[in-house]
Amino acid sequence: MKIAIIGVGYVGLVSGACFAELGADVYCVDVDERKIAQLREGVMPIYEARLQPMVKRNVEASRLHFETDLSLVLPLVEIVFIAVGTPPDQDGSADLSHVLEVARTIGKSMDSYKLIVCKSTVPVGTSRKVKAAIREELDKRGFGDVEFDVASNPEFLKEGNAVEDFMKPDRVVVGVESDRAKELLTYLYKPMQLNNFRVLFMDIPSAEMTKYAANAMLATRISFMNDIANLCEYVGADVNMVRRGIGSDSRIGSKFLYPGCGYGGSCFPKDVKALIQTARDNGYEMRVLNAVEDVNARQKKLLFEKFDRYYNHDVKGRKVAIWGLSFKPGTDDMREATSLVLIQQLLEAGCEVSVYDPIAMDEAKRRIGDKVRYANDLYDAVIDADALFHVTEWKEFRMPSWEVVKRSMNNPLLIDGRNVYDLPDSFGFTYMGIGI
């Protein structure tokens, strides 16, 4: 089966490589010529475990191709996935200009049946707009009798675990409005049925909504737990115990219940905002989600507040170290990362900041420039520090030599935004977690 995937961003590239791995003939298309040239050379635009060898293997097997001109690819394929970005607009709603631009490009050169599938996270109603844009271009060219279908197939992969998530999903959600589209997508996902998962077919608006509802639900769990954690501190409870206590209730379940210094990344913040905005456009206010956002914004500021309170608001000129910059381990992505909020607060307060991250150093240099010191490793970062902030729970930070860390620091104050350390008192650190 021949398919095209438009947009070699996170979702597009992972999906393209995985479909090729499953035996499909995949054409990945992007207007960014540099990116495409690099991909042909085997250079990945993002860091993602298992992705690079998978791309290489499938390019060598001629199942995965990288192209810049959609009009040349279109005649070769039956299914076209749209996987371009939907960045937030100023008011938080998803910017659909890239998606609709692709739709128009398809309409401009299509001359036989195609199934166009939205994989980008798009607000309810977007597939209808895609359909209208294609139809308009076809009519302009006098190709109004060419048939096509649209479908929605949102992606639930997590950064850092994307290949695994794609290959072994809990479920695949597909919104269709014709039998032909349903048959094509059933066939495309057939090789994966061996992994015993379900393809859930539904109408298109429900599929579009499912993606937002899932991300909003997960973000809600995290903000809810962050609120509980903060209260635990006031009443002398330990949120780790509380988490285990409620997580073992099968109605609640144990995943995504970890309190911390706020959720980041490209999906939760963006999708929660977009859903709030979709509701507003329809005259409805999502009160729970407004609170989810508030709690998250406050949570990102908590690490600095703990530090500031410890030093009685006398922090000017103090040296601090930050372990972890990406929004979570396993990725160099810093979009909406808590580290950015913390660094800004520290710099505004006149602190000297040293940072270290196993993967995201280049990304940090691009975003932050020379306002902080980039340490060579985790021990280098803590030299003379008055506080160490643990912001992203990379494995590399799990079992450092605490003796060395303590000896290097000016004052062994450890502020753990991810609650991963269980330091015995003998190490002599002052330890602060979230909700413990």
Query: Please, are residues 378 and 397 in contact by the beta-carbon 8 Å criterion?
Result: yes
CB closest to ligand UDX, residue no: 267
Give the x-and-dash track for 200-219 against ligand UDX (CB under 6 A): ---------------x--x-
Encoding tokens for residue 261? 């210094």
- 12 forms part of the interface with ligand UDX (CB under 6 A): no
Q: How many CB atoms lie within 10 A of CB 90?
A: 6
DSSP annotation of 248? T
What are residue 336's phi and psi, to 5 degrees?
Answer: 55, 25
148 touches ligand UDX by CB under 6 A: no
| Catalytic residue from among 28, 118, 261, 267 | 267
Is residue 267 annotated as a catalytic residue, yes or no? yes
Q: Check binding of 157 to ligand UDX (CB under 6 A).
A: yes
DSSP string, 176-239: -SSHHHHHHHHHHTGGGGGG--EEEEE-HHHHHHHHHHHHHHHHHHHHHHHHHHHHHHHHT--H
**Identified binder of ligand UDX from the candidate list 256, 311, 402, 431, rule CB under 6 A:** 256
Residue 260 binding ligand UDX, by CB under 6 A: yes
Regarding 267 and contact with ligand UDX (CB under 6 A), the answer is yes
Residue closer to ligand UDX by CB (options 169, 412) is 169
Q: Report in angstroms how near the CB of residue 24 gets to ligand UDX at its nearest.
A: 21
Nearer to ligand UDX, 170 or 425 (CB): 170
Helix (H) or strand (E) holding 290: helix 287-300
Measuring CA to CA, which residue among 306, 324, 319 is closest to residue 400?
Answer: 324
DSSP 387: E
Residue 265 in the binding site for ligand UDX (CB under 6 A): yes
Work out whether 156 is an interface residue with ligand UDX (CB under 6 A): yes
> Interface with ligand UDX includes 222 (CB under 6 A)?
yes
d(CA 143, CA 397): 59
Residue 325 CB, shortest distance to ligand UDX, in Å, is 12
Print the binding letters for residues 337-376 with ligand UDX: x by CB under 6 A, - otherwise: ----------------------------------------
The verdict on 307 binding ligand UDX (CB under 6 A) reads no
Please pick, from the candidates 257, 340, 343, 355, the single residue that binds ligand UDX as defined by CB under 6 A: 257
CA distances from 192 to 4, 83, 346 (A): 19, 20, 48
- Taking a C-beta distance cutoff of 8 angstroms, is the pair 343, 354 a contact? no
Task: Please answer whether residues 13 and 43 qualify as being in contact, where contact means their C-beta atoms are separated by less than 8 angstroms.
Answer: no
Binder of ligand UDX out of 323, 327, 394, 421 (CB under 6 A): 327
| Binding stretches for ligand UDX (CB under 6 A) | 155-159, 215, 218, 222, 256-258, 260, 263-265, 267-268, 327-328
Active-site residue numbers?
Answer: 267
